Amino acid sequence: MRAAGIDLGGTKIEAQIFDDHWAVIATERVQTPKTYQALIAAIVDLVRACGDLPVGISAAGLIHPQTGIALTANLPASGQPFPADVAAVAHRPVTWVNDARALILSEAIFGVAEAQSRVAGLILGTGVGGGVAVDGRLVLGPTGTAGEFGHSALPASLVVKYGLPVVACPCGRVGCVETLLSGPGMVRLAQALGEPGATPKEIAAAKGRTWQVWCEVLAELLMSVILIADPQVVVIAGGLSNIPHLVPDVSAALARAQFAGYPLPDIRIARGGDTAGALGAAYAAWRQAQT
Ligand SMILES: [Zn+2]
C-alpha cells in the first residue's frame, strides 16, 4: 500500500487506499454529516482506517494560509480551523488539497495530461475551479489560490462588446468570470443576451449567440491562463465538459484570441473517473511524505 485519499464532498465522503501501482485496493464511503463535530468525527474515522499511510483530503473551498480557517460553501466547516481540528482529533497530520487542484494533479500524473510538464486545468460546473501543475507538482504559493481561475475578472472587451452583466460573485468580488462561465452562469448569460429559459445543455446544442459568447469569454480566460502559466495542455473537467463540441468550438475561439500565428495549448477533456479527486489527494500526500 502506498497512500490513501479522501474525497470530501457535500453529500458523501469516500476514502480510497491505493497500492504501489496506484490501483484502488479498498474503498469506504459514508454520508457527509450535517454538523461540524459529526463531520470531524466521520473524517477522523476514515483517516484512522488508513493506518499509517500518507493521507490526502480533497475538499472544495479554501484554507486560509495564515489562520487555517476553512472557507467552503458545501460543508458545515466554514469559519472553522478545519484541518487543525481533524489533525488534533486524529493525532496525525493529513495533506489538504482543494478538490479542483486534486483533480488536475490526478490528470497531470495519471490522466489525459500524463507526462506533460506544464498543465493547467479548469473545472466547469456549478462553479469554476482550476489548478496548475508543473513537472508533476501543483503550483502552490503563499495564498494557496493559484488556479482559482473562476475568480478572474471578466474581459473588459467582451463586457463592452456584448453588454455583459457584471454581478456580485459568491466569493465577495464583483464581475468574476464564474458568474457567466459556470453552468448557472451560462443560464445568466443567455438571459442577458435575450435567449432565456434554456439549460446549459440546450444552449450548447443550439450553438446560437449565447454559446458563441460563452466560448469567447472562456477563450479570453484561457488566454490569461496562457499568459500566466503557458501550459502545453489545458484539461477541462466538470459537468459542462460533457458538451460534445466544447473542445473544437473553444479551440476556434482561442485561436482568434491568441497572438496571430502563435501555437495553442492542447485542450483535453479530463479522464476523470470516480477516484480522480481521491487519487490526486493521495498522490499529493505521498509526495509530501517523500520530502
Ligand atoms: Zn468570484
pLDDT (tens digit per residue) in 49-64: 999 999 999 999 999 9
Please report the pLDDT score of residue 69 as a whole number: 96
CATH number corresponding to 3-102+273-290: 3.30.420.40
> How far is Cα 134 from Cα 242, in angstroms, rounded to an integer?
26
How far, in Å, is the centroid of ligand 1 from the Cα of 138? 21
| Lookup result for grid cell 481533524 | 86
Residue type at 245? H
How far, in Å, is the centroid of ligand 1 from the Cα of 230? 23
pLDDT tens digits, 146-161: 999 999 999 999 999 9
Q: What is the pTM of this model?
A: 0.95
Please report the pLDDT score of residue 105 as a whole number: 97
Please report the pLDDT score of residue 275 as a whole number: 86
Intervals of CATH 3.30.420.40 along the chain:
3-102+273-290, 114-269
How far, in Å, is the centroid of ligand 1 from the Cα of 253? 23
How far, in Å, is the centroid of ligand 1 from the Cα of 158? 18
Please report the pLDDT score of residue 117 as a whole number: 97
> How far is Cα 111 from Cα 150, in angstroms, rounded to an integer?
22
Please report the pLDDT score of residue 1 as a whole number: 83
How far, in Å, is the centroid of ligand 1 from the Cα of 89? 33
> How far is Cα 24 from Cα 4, in angstroms, rounded to an integer?
9
How far, in Å, is the centroid of ligand 1 from the Cα of 286? 31
Report the number of secondary-structure helices (H) and strands (E) in the chain.
10, 12
Distance, CA of 41 to chain centre: 26
For residue 2, pLDDT over 90 is answered with yes
Contacts 24+ apart (CB under 8 A), 22-26: 22/110, 22/279, 22/282, 22/283, 24/275, 25/1
Average pLDDT over residues 256-266: 97
Q: How many CB atoms lie within 10 A of CB 247?
A: 16
Q: Taking a C-beta distance cutoff of 8 angstroms, is the pair 198, 184 a contact? A: no
> How far is Cα 222 from Cα 243, in angstroms, rounded to an integer?
18
Please report the pLDDT score of residue 22 as a whole number: 96
Distance, CA of 218 to chain centre: 15
Distance, CA of 5 to chain centre: 16
CATH topology of domain 114-269: Nucleotidyltransferase; domain 5 (3.30.420)
How far, in Å, is the centroid of ligand 1 from the Cα of 154? 10
How far, in Å, is the centroid of ligand 1 from the Cα of 173? 5
Please report the pLDDT score of residue 257 as a whole number: 97
pLDDT tens digits, 92-146: 999 999 999 999 999 999 999 999 999 999 999 999 999 999 999 999 999 999 9
How far, in Å, is the centroid of ligand 1 from the Cα of 179? 7
How far, in Å, is the centroid of ligand 1 from the Cα of 165? 14
Q: Taking a C-beta distance cutoff of 8 angstroms, is the pair 16, 27 a contact? A: yes
Average pLDDT over residues 81-98: 96
How far, in Å, is the centroid of ligand 1 from the Cα of 33? 27
> In which element (H, E) is residue 118 found?
strand 118-124
φ, ψ for residue 166, nearest 5 deg: -110, 100
How far, in Å, is the centroid of ligand 1 from the Cα of 91? 35
How far, in Å, is the centroid of ligand 1 from the Cα of 176? 5
**258 forms bridges with which residues in the sheet?**
none
pLDDT tens digits, 181-235: 999 999 999 999 999 888 999 999 999 999 999 999 999 999 999 999 999 999 9
For residue 265, pLDDT over 90 is answered with yes
How far, in Å, is the centroid of ligand 1 from the Cα of 128? 9
How far, in Å, is the centroid of ligand 1 from the Cα of 101? 17
Please report the pLDDT score of residue 197 as a whole number: 84
Inter-axis angle of helices 209-229 and 183-192, nearest 10:
130
Mean per-residue pLDDT of the chain: 96
